[in-house]
Structure formats: structure tokens, C-alpha cells
Structure 1
């Protein structure tokens, strides 16, 4: 995620506590069980996640597009490096970061990405529904899930898609971020279970609906003091609708 949330200190101690060698406490997903997942790649290497929301549009994190925007978008992947018949690769026709995205605290960390052509829907490539204004966002202690190809506890990027079930935390648990934690963010984690560097842009799902976007967090993935932060999708319904009609 943002700020390169890797375990640079006490790596051996943390590794001994984690339940698996995957995105900080998660597990490998069943291949192609999340057909909306997208890998944003530069030079064939995964950089950020995203998720398909219609035949030609992705949602991701705006901060992924700060430095380099020449991504290839790969859908239908389980392994990001190995050839798979299910994969579909696209160029980006246009991308639209939210106009109020802040590079200082990642407020409004959402971007809409238009592919150069519509996808071919298959069992491995399908859009996911996302939360609209007026929908029910997850309450405190609700279980949510997410996925990505981000780093593990050793700071290594993983080749197979990983998934994770975590818990929505009360807003006061995120006060350690100070003004960096805004009304447009959720915080969610479990002890030693978290998204990490490279998972940015992926979805946070509640009952199968994308309610958040993986955004950023503390420097150490899995820290109970600084849990992961997620952009609240339902706050952007009007902007999403107007942008996708351009």
C-alpha cells in the first residue's frame, strides 16, 4: 500500500507470528474465484491492483497514478507472471483521478480507468457490483474481505492472488493517523492481518459488494496501531456516474 508498508524491523519476529507466507496473514485465493481483480503492470511487473466495475471501466486508487501512468491492465490472472489462457490484457484509454485527491493524506483516493476496449466476459473476467450512495456500508466489527498481489511479511511481492478476511474497526481506532484519517475513509484489519505494499487499488468487499478501495496505512503492515485505510466508495456515486458517461 502507500508509504511502502513493509516490515523492515523485527522481520524474523513478525514472520514467526504470521499464519502464512502471504499478504500479511492471508491465504492464496482459489484460482479465478475473483474475476473482477485487475493487475496494473509496468514492464510486465505488478504495481497496483484494481477491479472491474463494467465492461470497460476499472476502479483503483488515485495514488497509483502519481508517478507513471503507462500501465497495462491484466484481467483474468491468478499468477501475474505465468502465461494463462484466461488472461486479457488492455491499454488504458483514459483515467480520471478524483479532482480533490490529496497527495498529502490520500483523501479522495479513487480513480476511474477506461480500457481501450470492452472486456470479453468469461468465468475468469467479470465486473463486481460496487456500493452506491444510500447503500448500507459495513458497521463496526463486520467482516470484510479483500485480495491482491501485494507484499508479504518479508516485503516480497507474491505471484499468485492472495485473499484476506479482516474486521471493520471503530473510527476512534484510527485516531493515531490524526488529520490524515478523514470522513472518506474506513479503517480495517485484524492483528497481524492486513493489506500491504502492492495491494493498493484493490477492493474491500462486504457481502460480495465493493465498498472500499485499498488506499494506505502505517509503515508496518499488520500493525494494530495503524490499521489499513480504505476509501469509502459510496461517497462518490455522483462523480462516478458523471465520469463514466464522458
Structure 2
């Protein structure tokens, strides 16, 4: 291979890393088209996503709230994180409820409920999202599911200001449980979903995975590199926790 070709190949490889369709691989959502989305912010910086499931309750991932410093807040009704939007509503958290079986070793049972300091005011930009309950129809392999978030656009951590969204496909449970994928860390409470160079990324955790307009999963964890072929996004299966959700929100 000539020197010029080596330089070109190296540049192409670097570009694929820097500007990977890594959201990763998504697009900007229409403003307020996902009015259930929540931004969990610590010291004014977006850290995780979440979604409004009742006027005073936000569902998210347990690993997002292992620490919840004083002054942290939840913002509803946002499209731009930094822009001045009349639709935004900011809250503090009255109570944090992480599932008691959550473990950071495997990220099993990665689900949490946050009780807001007051009920949200429902508007065109702030609405509830229905979530899948026990006995509901779950997406099967190769079916399309959608997700959204303000997470990293690439593996260098570049963050968007405006909400991003993408469609991915549910992957085979057998494949995700293989030793060269997640092995025994892939539990019965998880599903995995991705497409080539399309994946959730750092900062998308806690957001919803939707199937036919219903939240069936919570963005949980994945590989250190977003969009990695053998480390597709992992999502907590919400319907497995119906009883805990009901008892917590009572």
C-alpha cells in the first residue's frame, strides 16, 4: 500500500471514530414531539434522561441516581437544554426510589422512580408516557423500537443542545448473551437493541425505549464505545417491575 493510501485510510478511520453515526446515528427530534422527556441535571449539567409516567413521578435508570447531590434538578418540557423556552418546568426531587435489586456489577434491575417536589403541569410540551405492564406485548427480534436523549453524539463525548432521536432494532437474546457479547451479564430483565453505528450513548441513560408508542424499556448500559458491534445498547424491561412500580407510586 502506498504512503498516500495509508494516510487516507488512517484519516478515514479517525473520521469514523470522531463523527460516528453514533444518539449516535440519530437526528434532531421535532421540538416537543416527545413531551414526556425529562433531563436530570446536576450542577446545571445534563447527566441522564428520564420520562414522566405520572404527574409527580419520573422513571429513569437506577445507576443515574446512585448519587443525587443537593441542588440537582429535573427539567421537563425542554427541547434545547440551554435555550430559553417558556415550556420548561424545573423541579427538585422529594424522594429517590431505586429498585432494591439493582447491582452495578451487571446493571440488572436498573430502574428508579423519582418523586417530584410537586406535580407537573401537563401541557402540549409536558405529557405522560404510558409504560408497558406485566402481560403486555413485548417487541420481538428485529422489530423497530425508538429512543431519544441528549446523550453524546460520538465517542469523544460531544453533547447536543437539542433532543436527538433514533430508531433501532431489537436484537437476538441468544446473540446478546454470547460470551463475546455480554455473556452472563445479560440478564432476563434486559433486552438489547441497536443498528449499525446507531446506538444510545453516554447521557442517554434513563430515557425510554418505545414500541408502538409505549415505553417498554429504560436505556441502561452498553459498551464503553457507543455503536460498537458487539456491545449494543442495553435496556431494562419495564414490564418485569410492574408490582414494584405500583407499590412505590402508591
Aligned partners of 1:116 and 1:16: how far apart in 2?
40
In structure 1, distance between residues paired with 2:20 and 2:45: 29
Distance in 1, matches of 2:23 and 2:186, equals: 23
Return 5+ residue gaps in structure 1 as ranges.
1-9
Runs ≥4 residues deviating over 6 A: none
Q: CA RMSD in A?
A: 1.2
Partner of 1:137: 138
Q: Does the CA-based 8 Å contact 1:44-1:81 persist in structure 2?
A: no
* Structure 1 residue 44 displacement after superposition: 1.3
Structure 2 residue ranges without an equivalent (≥5): 1-12
Structure-to-structure mapping, 1:204-243, within 5 angstroms:
204-243=209-248
Q: Per the alignment, do residues 159 and 184 of structure 1 end up closer, same or farther by CA in structure 2, a change over 3 Å counting? A: same
Q: Give the Cα–Cα distance (whole angstroms) in 2 for the partners of residues 217 and 75 of structure 1.
A: 26
Q: TM-score by structure 2 length? A: 0.90
Match of 2:7 in 1: none
Aligned-residue offset at 1:68: 3.3
Name 1:88's counterpart in structure 2.
89
Q: Name 1:160's counterpart in structure 2.
A: 162
Matching of residues 1-246 of structure 1 within 5 Å: 11-15=14-18, 18=21, 23-70=23-70, 71-153=72-154, 154-174=156-176, 175=178, 176-245=181-250
Q: d(CA) in 1 for partners of 2:87 and 2:199?
A: 28
1:25: how far off?
0.4
Per-residue deviation at 1:173?
A: 2.1
- Compare CA radii of gyration and give the structure with the larger one: 2
TM, length-normalised to structure 1: 0.92
